[in-house]
Amino acid sequence: MRVANLDGRLALLTGSGALDVEHASGGRFGAVPQDVYARWAEFVSWAATASGGTPYDPDRLGLPVARPADRCRLGRGEGRLVVGRSNMERPVQLCGERAVVSGRAGTCTASR
């Protein structure tokens, strides 16, 4: 199962193409892609039985999660300190710099 945002509407991508979730579910699930995550277990059960789909243009796909609950960050510099305290392996080499990946809350802001 692949969840998609097709022209701003929740869709499932199947072997046959894209399936509009609101129409295919008879309105059980709405058209707003973000809303399905609050009912994820119910949606997954329904999606396992869904079939069909029509061809679609991949250029019409948007972000499947407009407001992710969790984010990750890629940092350098503080990575050496974090790794030293955690007994983790050294971070991967990335563009000649040491890098570390860590989680961030959904309310975080971007910084440089």
Contact 40, 2 (CB under 8 A): no
* Range 97-109 average pLDDT: 51
Exposed / middle / buried, residue 103 (Cβ in 10 Å: 0-12, 13-18, 19+) = exposed
Distance CA 71, CA 68 (A): 7
- Which of 5, 42, 46 is CA-nearest to residue 26? 46
Q: pLDDT of 42-99, one tens digit each?
A: 999 999 999 999 999 999 999 888 776 655 555 555 444 444 555 555 555 444 455 5
Q: Which amino acid is at 3?
A: V
Contact 36, 29 (CB under 8 A): yes
Predicted pLDDT of residue 70 = 59
What's the confidence (pLDDT) of residue 81? 46
84, 90 contact by CB (below 8 A): no
Per the structure block, which two tokens stand in for 96? 């000649």
